[in-house]
Amino acid sequence: MLRIALKSALFNKRRLVGTGLSIVIGIAFLAGTLVFTDTIGRTFDTLFADVYKTTDTYVRSSSEIDVGFGQKLYDRLPESILAEIKAVDGVDDAVANVGGFARVIGKDGKPIGVDNGSPNFGMSITDNPLEAWQKVGDSVYPRGGEQMMMDAGTAKKGKFTLGDKVNVISQGGNRVFTLVGTVRFGNADSPGGSTFALFDVPTAQSFVGKTGEIDAVQVAAEPGVTERTLADRVQKALGPDTTVLTGAEITKESQNAVGDALSFINILLLVFAAVALFVGSFIIYNTFSIIVAQKQRENALLRAVGASRGQIISSILVESVIVGLIASAVGFVAGIGMSTVLKNLMATFGIDIPAGGVVLLPRTAIVSFAVGVVMTVFAAVSPSVRASRVAPVAAMRDVALDKSATSRGRLIAGLLVSFVGALLVVVGLTGNVRQLGLGVPLLFMGIFVLGPLIARPVAGFIGAPLPRVVGMTGTLARQNSMRNPKRTARTAAALMVGVSLVTGISVLAASVTSSVRSIIGDQFVGDFVVNTRTQGFGGLPPELTQKLNALPEVGSASSLQLGYGNVEDRTKASALSVVDPKTIGDAFDMKFISGKASDLTATGILVSEKRAKKDGLTVGATVNLRLLDGVKRPLRVQGVYQKDELAGPYTISEELFRSSGADLFSFAVFGTKAPGISEAKAMSAVESVTRDYPTGKLLSRSSYIDEQSKQINQFVNLIYGLLALAVIIAIFGITNTLSLSVYERTRELGLLRAVGAFRSQVRSSVRWESVITALLGTAQGIVIGILLGYAVIISLRDEGLRSFTIPVTTLIVVVVLAVIAGIVAAIRPAGRAAKLNILEALARH
Amino acid sequence: MAPTDTLVTQSTAPTRTSAASTIDASKVYGSDDSEVTAVDHVTVAFETGRFSAIMGPSGSGKSTLMHCMAGLDPLTSGQAFIGDVDLTTLHDKQLTKLRRDKVGFVFQSYNLVPSLSALENITLPDLLAGRKPDQAWLDRVVQTVGLADRLTHRPSELSGGQQQRVAVARALVARPEIIFADEPTGNLDSHASTEILEFMRRAVIDLGQTIVMVTHDPVAASFSDHIVFLADGRVVDEMDQPTAERVLDRMRQFGS
């Protein structure tokens, strides 16, 4: 029996390829994701191992705020601590690090590096051997407030040579430095894809950090003193205000932090790999079902001559194992290439992550093969059982048409599974991701079961105009798409999954877009914005706001900063809006229920209505807030505002934030024009100032609203890119089904040709059948996608998402693409159908 | 073009009254050492308005000859004509058009497209050509075939005999210059066979249709006006006004 299965699998290579392809793509994505994230992980692991290679002990402040995604903010230390450390017994050498945000401006006036990917650093550098950098060529270390170095990668990108004047923007404003050197990092020009502007310690302190303060100290031990011993001694000497780590600990910690930050990308990609594999399993199931139907007589014959049911089942399962193994192997190899594709795809959408040589772990191979084989076999189980149920007498009969598509059992089972799936989706949307992850596939499976019930009427409906438009071939296409509803439905279902996700996402995006538009339009009452795309780290220096406020054409300019703090000892840090109470009210209308923005002082806090209700806060109540310096400040509630979509739950003053020692950056500056000044005049005055700060983008009120509402598009496009894979797999599924159908209908195609159908007519009938199938899947997908999108939006109602918008244009594009996909999917099978030799086709049994 | 009711004197040489004919036609399969000559220098003509049969034992080349004459298979050498159109000068598209417009087919089995109704199958060549069938003619054919109450049925809902009647009706409705029938009764019981053969005869007599039937069954052949006997790819005899007995006798002479 094993030999029969092997022969059957290898005999029909085309079938093997058709089935395997859907798995190959899914496994390639899975393996590619693992290789990609492993490679990034290894790159950063190596990077940090190098950074702290010579560091035996690492000292930083013990005051920290955990902002999530593996990121922590640390307070600074007084620079006097360096001398204290050097005095500890066993310390050979120590060097202070000063760091913060700084952005190098290229000769073309545009900032170098990316806005929201690898960060842009300003740091201190000395000739101390503890520093991880190596000088390049004739470089010298910077001395004094007018010299700088940079990493060789940034110098290359900006085409800078030694002696060039370089503009750098940081907390300290826009300053010009002379480039005196470049550095490399091991053999990397630009470690981790970041940009580095490097200064001597006092310059770094005044420009990117804080005068008199340092961020951390790297310590080297005397020979014979272990890392642990030294760390313990330093800790003892410095006391509880510092955290002292060994070199190994700080290395591990940095590696883990990057790992945590990257796990988001890992999970995102794995979700799409799962979608691709899920769609692939539909196709395997469908293919095996068709094969089993086509081999009914053969299996009946085997049964008649004495094969047991178990042998029939195992013959098909063995074939599925072979398909699974070969497909996994091909997919695994393709995955290595796919990792590069993924890297480029992420980079295209702004997530540019450096990666070194390809990292191939045994785990990647094991997972690829296990998933590929298990999925293929799993999808083949039910068809194989069905095959084994064939009565031996069927060998003597003509194959009966499969009419079981419309049983009552199917209706009940389908409705039940869909219902449970939908229920889990609804429950899952209230915050339980696991139930959502279970509910969506279940819902799809329910629809998959129900598919054959609706496939006939819906395919008939979709194909109804065809006879009139393309004549007889249209009639044939329509009839063929209706003649085996199970097959058509299963083929369409694969496409349904991808289309419903695309539709759901586009509904969500359209709704977010219109929601953002109305929120900003509602609350932003200013005339212009200087906007950045930095998220949390860095931004525009405070001096920009001061300069704008000094312009006679400007009414007021108010900066907005994102800060973090721990409220009431909660472990999870809260986001804080940091504002200038005097001016923020000019640009924003937060709809104060009590108090007003200008009531806010350095000892007070403004809270949102929602937050106030939850915590029972009113004006005059006390909120305890711990900022970066670790000091717990009792703050008086000085106002409660209704509109929290932009400001979030808490708003504090710049003055308070500054007193905690945090760096000051605005992620945007909002302004109004002075009374009686034309918009054009105000904008050109503002532009004369913002010209020197190219990290910001000057926008009018309306273009700012446009830009913000479209912000989600980039992310949505990335998701479309990833979902394209599921759609491509589904197209292969259509091709596969059509190929099997064409094979099955060889004689009737021969007949058509004999009685006078042109090759082009045969081709056209297959093509239109494909288009009907594609449109069937698309129609189902759009309906389900809109429902899913609606469910998500309802669940996000409390988060400020208040509009439900159906993106008609996008959906029309989806339908047009589906027609094209159908045509493309039909190319090969239609070509094969048209090329049939009439006499051979007629003679086929 | 229009079928004529007149019986014309038969002749083996191609004339203007031949519905289909060949001149020195050969068909060789395979190449070099494995060559098989299926049709060997055959010159034959089938008269317009008659019911002709091609007979011969299996392997005699009768089906191949028919396929070549019907434009389904190219000749290796020689010429084949439908009316006065030389098939060997036509390319695939022209041949397809010729089959659609001038030739009707009835095969042994699997004559119908399973997804189409009986009526759609009957009018298939017209539908493929994108033209309206002649309704009066269609009614007459359907009436003659006796399928009026079966027109909306799918092939799977018809008996074998009914399916073949639909096939014959399809061949007739397009009013082809000639109908080629390849063992049309091969899969039918004797009752259904007789029905189909009677029906084909009537089509020749009543409707003036030209039919060429390939068969190895002497009883089926006896329904025709004229028989061409084939053996080893060559025309070995012809017979007019055959009866089953005479055909059987003639066949016995071929066999060992």
Mean of per-residue pLDDT scores for chain B: 85
For A501-543, what is each residue's pLDDT tens digit?
999 999 999 998 888 888 888 889 999 999 987 766 788 998 9
Per-residue confidence (pLDDT) for residue B4, from 0 to 100: 39
Is the separation of the CB atoms in B60 and B230 below 8 Å? yes
Question: CB burial class (10 A; 0-12, 13-18, 19+) of residue A278?
Answer: buried
Q: Is the pLDDT of residue A448 over 60?
A: yes
Q: Is the pLDDT of residue B12 over 50?
A: no
Q: How far apart are CA A27 and CA A17, in angstroms?
A: 15
Point out which residues pair with A60 in neighbouring strands. A216, A243
Q: What are the chain A neighbours of B73 within 8 Å (beta carbons)?
A: 838-839
Q: Is the pLDDT of residue B14 over 60?
A: no
Least confident of A197-201, A411-415, A699-703: A411-415
At how many degrees (to 10) do helices A711-744 and A485-523 cross?
170
Q: How far apart are CA A122 and CA A195, in angstroms?
A: 8
Is the separation of the CB atoms in B29 and B233 below 8 Å? no
Residue window 380-399, chain A: list those with CB within 8 Å of chain B. Answer: none
Confidence band for B143, pLDDT divided at 50, 70 and 90 = confident
Structure tokens at B123: 């009018």
How many residues make up chain A in this entry? 845
Q: Is the pLDDT of residue A726 over 70?
A: yes
User: CB contact, 8 Å: A467 with chain B?
Assistant: no
Give the closest of A752, A759, A838 to B72, CB-based: A838
Q: Do B93 and A758 count as a contact with CB atoms less than 8 A apart?
A: yes
User: CB contact, 8 Å: A758 with chain B?
Assistant: yes
Confidence band for B10, pLDDT divided at 50, 70 and 90 = very low
Minimum CA–CA partner of A481 in chain B: B115
Q: Do A472 and B99 count as a contact with CB atoms less than 8 A apart?
A: no
Question: CB burial class (10 A; 0-12, 13-18, 19+) of residue B25?
Answer: buried
User: CB contact, 8 Å: A843 with chain B?
Assistant: no
- How many C-beta atoms surround the C-beta of residue A214 within 10 A? 26
For B114-126, what is each residue's pLDDT tens digit?
888 899 899 888 8
Q: H or E segment at A5?
A: helix A2-11
**Rg of the Cα trace of chain A?**
33
Per-residue confidence (pLDDT) for residue A783, from 0 to 100: 93
Is the separation of the CB atoms in B88 and B41 below 8 Å? no
Q: What are the chain B neighbours of A480 within 8 Å (beta carbons)?
A: 115
Residue A256, φ and ψ in degrees, nearest 5:
-65, -40
Per-residue confidence (pLDDT) for residue A646, from 0 to 100: 83
Q: How far apart are CA B2 and CA B4, in angstroms?
A: 6
Q: How far apart are CA A524 and CA A560, in angstroms?
A: 12
Least confident of A45-59, A62-76, A279-293, A351-365: A351-365
Mean of per-residue pLDDT scores for chain A: 87
Minimum CA–CA partner of A748 in chain B: B113
Is the separation of the CB atoms in A448 and A501 below 8 Å? no
Q: Is the pLDDT of residue A400 over 70?
A: no
Q: What are the chain A neighbours of B92 within 8 Å (beta carbons)?
A: 759
Q: Is the pLDDT of residue A413 over 80?
A: yes
Is the separation of the CB atoms in A818 and A495 below 8 Å? yes
Q: Is the pLDDT of residue A607 over 90?
A: yes
Q: H or E segment at A28?
A: helix A13-51
Q: Is the pLDDT of residue A23 over 90?
A: no
ipTM of the modeled complex:
0.83
How many residues make up chain B in this entry? 256
Per-residue confidence (pLDDT) for residue A666, from 0 to 100: 87
Question: CB burial class (10 A; 0-12, 13-18, 19+) of residue A830?
Answer: buried
Least confident of A395-404, A669-678, A756-765, B92-101: A395-404
Per-residue confidence (pLDDT) for residue A219, from 0 to 100: 94
Q: What is the pTM of this model?
A: 0.81
String of b and e for A568-592 (b: at least 16 CB within 10 Å)?
Answer: eeeeebbebbbbbbebbbbbbbbeb
Structure tokens at A500: 């419903």
For A306-350, what is each residue's pLDDT tens digit?
778 888 888 888 888 988 999 999 999 999 888 888 888 777 765
For B56-93, what is each residue's pLDDT tens digit?
888 889 989 999 999 888 999 999 999 889 999 998 88
